[in-house]
Amino acid sequence: MTDSLMFDAIVLAGGRGSRLGLVDKATLDVGDGPLLDRVLEAVSKARRIAVVGPQRELPPTVRQVRENPVFGGPTAAVVTGLQVLADEPSPWTVVLGCDLPLAGEAVPLLLADLERDGATLKDGNGRTQWVAGIYRSSSLYRAADALGDPTDQPLRALLGALDVRTVTAPGRVSQDVDTWDHVSDWNEYFTEGEADE
């Protein structure tokens, strides 16, 4: 990665949180603060940031928009984020879920050795983590135009045809937060890390 690399960021923060009892996942405290704050810090070098989800108290430089339709799924959220940034897109666009506690470690992995249409993380089971990726913006916009209605479409429908490099994420870097057990596990992880310092 070079310091001159220009990228925008889309952060998906509008899910229902159904496995968390409809709690707003983005506001959950994990480690030393809310999940969304951790992800925004990870993309703080982005030229522009769009957070797709309900309105929250965020820095004024962050563009906030609700996915259309509301709860239309992650693909609809990515397309909505692209529309917000379409006036002057950067060459690259990082796409992250708001529930990646180690987003600060994920982003440098994604920004390294960029080529083709971008890069995504894959987990220890070999699954592609589409919402832990960086994509060539021109390719991403073309894919969105070709998709048509993104409502309830799988992310693979939007991103699967792109020529991306998959990066095996070390340790827990690609692991997200979906359940209360995950929240407990992550808080234990960060507490143990602080104790080791």
Binned at pLDDT 50, 70 and 90, residue 2 comes out as very low
Dig out the tokens for 98 from the structure.
């708001």
* Residue-range domain boundaries for the chain: 7-196
Helix, strand, or coil here: 5? coil
CATH code given to domain 7-196 = 3.90.550.10
Radius of gyration for the alpha carbons in the chain, expressed in angstroms and rounded? 16
| Structure confidence by residue, pLDDT tens digits, 111-155 | 987 889 999 999 888 889 999 999 999 999 999 999 999 999 999
What is the Cα–Cα distance from 166 to 129, expressed in whole angstroms? 9
Binned at pLDDT 50, 70 and 90, residue 9 comes out as very high
| Structure confidence by residue, pLDDT tens digits, 71-120 | 899 999 999 999 999 999 999 999 999 999 999 999 999 998 788 999 99
What is the amino acid identity at position 189? Y
Q: What predicted TM-score, i.e. pTM, was given to this entire model? A: 0.92
> CA 76, 163, 112: angle at the middle one, nearest 5?
95
| Structure confidence by residue, pLDDT tens digits, 30-46 | 888 899 999 999 999 99
CB of 14 closer than 8 Å to CB of 70: yes
CB of 147 closer than 8 Å to CB of 70: no
